[in-house]
A and B are shown apart, each in its own frame.
Chain A
Amino acid sequence: MADIVSLADGVGELVHDGDVVALEGFTHLIPHAAGQEIIRQGRQDLTLVRMTPDIVYDQLIGAGCARKLIFSWGGNPGVGSLHRFRDAVQHAWPVPLEIEEHSHAGMANRYVAGASGLPFAVLRGYRGTDLPEHTATIKWITCPFTGEELAAVPAINPDVSIIHAQRADRAGNVQMWGLVGVQKEAVLAAGRSLVTVEEVVDELEPVAGQVVLPHWAVTAVAEAPRGAHPSYAQGYYERDNAYYKYWDSIGRDRDTFRTWVRDEVLAGRDSADAAGDKEGVR
């Protein structure tokens, strides 16, 4: 049975310095509140994994929480660049950021392999590109049946995966619907998992197209209303498109960003029950 915890306790207990951490959710249900809680608790040296690092990882990277990023696309959707991400890769600010670049299909297949308990996944992409030169986790394998040479990528098994869903029940069964990405695979592949939800309810009413994660596959559930903002939670709130544009003005400049962390993230440090250290951003 999954534990129902506060967001601060969930992050405090499940996310450790140096962990491989995946925050997933594509366009929809992006776990922003959890990302900011990681900043608040001053986590460092994380290897961040995400198919499409957008604002949520720009914030973590700018706050100095990460030493490495495993990804396939890093941008501010519909707006442009992630300036904190670029500053980290190009100028090592605030700390150097190593990157491990894959394609979308490569990332998705790595999660599937991880969730399936297999050591690697096979795909036809990458041939002819320069990525195998730069990314050590792409190798070649010969199909034993056809002789075709294909790309092999290792399973991703995060120390902890964090996702946001619409609802959970009191046993910790999780329900999400609408546009889903690789959340299911990310959770099943992980050693530990934290699911933030809009609300904890007595009973999960079925919804068409739902994905249900059973309580035994989830370590902890934390209620975090509007926890996906500025992305959206279908059935709860819409995407805040203006925020994505606003983020460009925050992320573009180191000082503006630092002020934002101080005023908008660390100032929200009111949940006194948080476990773990609280040294804040470096």
Chain B
Amino acid sequence: MSDVTRAEIAVVAVAELFRGDGELVASPMGTVPSLGARLARATFEPDLLLSDGQAYLVDGDGTVEGWQPFRKMLDTIVPHGRRHVVMGANQVDRYGNQNISAIGEHDRPAKQLLGVRGAPGNTVNHRTSYWVPRHGRRVFVESVDVVAGVGYDNAAKAGAAAQRFHDVHRVVTNLGVFDFGGPDHVMRGLSLHPGVTEDEVAEATSFPVDCTGASTSRLPTAEELHLIRDVLDPAGMRDQEVPS
């Protein structure tokens, strides 16, 4: 399978985020996260619940299977932990703090970003992962300008109320898969995508990342490749997010 693209490896890596999740609401944001969630649902996580982004729960083909209007998310899903969000991040630091609010001073930022949206609640209420299509030093920074999604160090400082359901699970990038299982919950490499070296990751990250224990991200199976290419994304939207 030498023709497997980096985007396809990333889709499978995102699908793997949901392995073992069972019957909970997957909330993927972005093309590759959406494809990953639908791939997981179509293969090894058949109980995963997918939203159409508005009011319905749908299966992988878009067939409606439930009523889940957005406002119910805050009533029933978020506070009970039955959700796994895969969000984007403009900045991430070694402890998993995430920024989508502003670059620079918050009051008069150099770059006003989208705003914290659900990150402050998501990160302390249920499992959250991040998707970074372009792994680089501008994203993986020494310290984020505004903590929107809560990382491990800040959750510990904030105490029990923040830690009870705090679960920053993984970061998937175009270079590899990372978690926060290092000493003091620092980010470490779990697997690097085929062809990616530890030096490449070190070069693209502003803080040290231990990749000594990292394996190689797995390739799609023949069935997964068929699903990605022919069923879930025949138009090849994935290649726009992660160019080969």
* Bound pair (A, B): yes
Which residues on A are within 8 Å of B, measured CB to CB? 26-28, 71-75, 81, 85-86, 89-90, 99, 101-106, 108, 123-131, 133-134, 148-150, 178-182
Minimum distance in angstroms from B75 CB to a CB of chain A = 10
Nearest A-chain residue to B121, judged by Cβ: A125
Assess whether B92 is interfacial by the CB under 8 Å rule: no
- Are A128 and B118 in touch, CB under 8 angstroms? no
B120 touches which of A99, A126, A150 (Cβ 8 Å): A126
Binds A, one of B38-46, B107-115, B191-199, B200-208: B107-115
A27 CA to B79 CA in the complex, in Å?
23
Binds A, one of B4-12, B145-153, B171-179: B145-153
- Are B154 and A74 in touch, CB under 8 angstroms? no
- Are A73 and B115 in touch, CB under 8 angstroms? yes
Which A residues are CB-close (under 8 A) to B111? 86, 90
A269 CA to B146 CA in the complex, in Å?
42
24 A–B pairs (Cβ distance < 8 Å), ordered by A: A26-B70, A28-B54, A75-B114, A89-B112, A90-B109, A101-B115, A103-B119, A104-B74, A105-B74, A105-B121, A108-B71, A124-B121, A124-B125, A124-B161, A125-B124, A127-B124, A127-B155, A127-B158, A128-B150, A130-B147, A133-B106, A149-B159, A179-B69, A182-B71
- Are B161 and A127 in touch, CB under 8 angstroms? yes
Which B residues are CB-close (under 8 A) to A125? 120-121, 124-125
Other than the known A105-B74, A126-B120, A131-B148, what 7 A-B pairs have Cβ atoms closer than 8 Å? Answer: A27-B70, A101-B101, A105-B120, A130-B146, A130-B147, A134-B107, A180-B69
A150 CA to B120 CA in the complex, in Å?
13
Assess whether B55 is interfacial by the CB under 8 Å rule: yes
Assess whether B141 is interfacial by the CB under 8 Å rule: no
B150 touches which of A85, A129, A178 (Cβ 8 Å): A129
Minimum distance in angstroms from A145 CB to a CB of chain B = 14
A148 touches which of B112, B118, B161 (Cβ 8 Å): B161
A194 CA to B139 CA in the complex, in Å?
43
Interface residues of B in 126-169 (CB under 8 A from A): 146-151, 154-155, 157-162, 166
Given A86-B112, A127-B124, A129-B147, are A73 and B154 also a contact pair (CB < 8 Å)? no
- Are A180 and B112 in touch, CB under 8 angstroms? no
Which A residues are CB-close (under 8 A) to B69? 179-180
Which B residues are CB-close (under 8 A) to A148? 160-161
Assess whether B229 is interfacial by the CB under 8 Å rule: no
- Are A134 and B115 in touch, CB under 8 angstroms? no
Given A26-B70, A90-B109, A127-B162, are A72 and B150 also a contact pair (CB < 8 Å)? no
User: Taking each of A26, A75, A129, A148, which has the highest tally of chain B beta carbons within 10 Å of its own beta carbon?
Assistant: A129
